[in-house]
Amino acid sequence: MTTSAAGERTLRGRAAIAGVGETNYYKRGAAEDPEFVLALKAILTAAQDAGIDPREIDGFASYSNDRNDPSRLAVATGMARCVVVFRALAQGQFARFGQGPRLPGVSGEPAYTMPYGLMSPAQMFSMRCMRHLHETGVSRDTYKAVSLAAYHHAQNNPRAVMHGQLLSPEAYDEARWIVEPHRLYDCCMENDGAAALIVVPAERARDLPNTPVYLLGATTGSEHRAGAPCHNAPLYATACFTTLAPRLYEMAEVTPGDVDVLQSYENFTGGVVMSIIEHGFCTPEQANEVLTFENLIAPAGRLPLNTSGGNLAECYMHGLELVIEAVRQIRGDSPNPVSGARVSMVTSGPMVTPASNAIFGSEEVL
């Protein structure tokens, strides 16, 4: 974090993404390589994309579950000249998410929920989403639009695990419930693979081959008592962005209307809808009209969303694939490019604490 001439703490324009890369993305358990080899391959690919020797990398940030943390990363760029952010997953080799614990007994906070059969992320988050639907009158049709848009975008993305598997509205409706209000295609996948991106100081990025993609802003945090135990957060029906979103726009010096394309982390589609609302793209009252399939698809939609297919249909790389797609939109090499995109946003794992978000921009918005 640096301090600008005006004295405010800001990240704007200090760091840039110089390169991105990923391995093949696989269905869960299908990767041939060990997890660490996947990570190394993704890092080498990103370094090659950035036009740097991987030996130049002098900082590492392992990208954590449900959080993109470009702010920590940008701090790191103050101390390191070339940081790689990476995530590797080989879920056949390590424990899966989404499975209940096989324990005879639990204590502390899990003891207030697990004996009642509330133990997976889907079960934890669906409770919040159901309350949100009730409080706002937002329709589940918005969930469907988010899901169909992701699958639509994956059809143009050869990297996507769901490439070649278009999801029809009928198939969405007929899919089984996981936990009401979420059906099967409202839930993220579980995948194997690895992804990486290279962050350098802005002035260094200008000497490298790719179009620099500048970090305009990034915030991390939560609302007051967002982590209150046992579903007692005072603001319960939120994705936890109500305080972060204004700070992000302030730092990035843009408004929601300036954002050309959005990548919003989908653990579950209900959380995406809340994230979009909390970032000011529509009010809850407008959501049913604004969050339609037509509005959410590139290139012509009002708010192109998850344009690589995201966690639902490209690959569940804990959202790092969403950051990479946000970068590609500015560079113009997205599989579903939004023409002339200059401001590109990412929001992280909704309904978690801390949450995070980031805005990237092209040279002309600096």
Partner 1 sequence: MNAAANHLPAGLPAPRPARDGLDTPYYEGLLSGKLLIQRCTACRGWQWGPEWICHRCLSFDLDWAETEAAGRIFSWERVWHPVHPALAQHGPYLVVLVELPQADHVRLVGNLLGDPHQPVPIGGAVEGVFEHRPDGEPPYTLLQWQLTG
Q: Work out how close the CB of 227 gets to partner 1 at its nearest, in angstroms, rounded to a whole number.
A: 11
User: How many angstroms separate the CA atoms of 342 and 247, rounded?
Assistant: 20
Cβ 128 to partner 1 shortest distance, Å: 7
The answer to whether residues 364 and 237 touch, using CB atoms and an 8 Å cutoff, is no
Residue 105 or residue 164: which is nearer to partner 1 going by CB? 105
Q: How far is the CB of 132 from partner 1 (least distance, A)?
A: 9
Q: Is residue 95 at the binding interface for partner 1, with CB under 8 A as the rule?
A: no
Q: Please, what is the minimum distance in Å from the beta carbon of residue 341 to partner 1?
A: 37
Query: Is residue 336 a contact partner of residue 307, using CB atoms and an 8 Å limit?
Result: yes
* Residue whose C-alpha is closest to residue 141's, from 276, 270, 304: 270
* Cβ atoms 277, 287 nearer than 8 A: yes
Q: Are 279 and 241 in contact (CB under 8 A)?
A: yes
Which of 24, 64, 93, 113: binder of partner 1 (CB under 8 A)?
113
Q: Which of residues 105 and 340 has its CB atom nearest to partner 1 in the complex?
A: 105
Residues 165-224 that bind partner 1 (CB under 8 A): 176-181
Q: In one letter, which amino acid is 22?
A: E
Given 114, 171, 208, 235, the residue binding partner 1 (CB under 8 A): 114
Does residue 235 touch partner 1 according to CB under 8 A? no
**Interface with partner 1 includes 100 (CB under 8 A)?**
yes
Q: Are 20 and 49 in contact (CB under 8 A)?
A: yes
Torsion 121-268-33-46 (CA) sign: negative
**Binding of partner 1 at residue 130 (CB under 8 A)?**
yes
For residue 325, the minimal CB distance to partner 1 (Å) is 28
Nearer to partner 1, 123 or 157 (CB): 123
Q: What are phi and psi of 275, to 5 degrees?
A: -60, -45
Helix (H, G, I), strand (E, B) or coil at 41: helix
Closer by beta carbon to partner 1, 123 or else 275:
123
CA quadruple 295, 301, 304, 309: dihedral sign = positive
CB of 181 to partner 1, least distance (A): 8
- Which residues lie near partner 1 (CB under 8 A)? 98-120, 122-123, 126-128, 130-131, 134, 176-181, 225, 228-232, 236
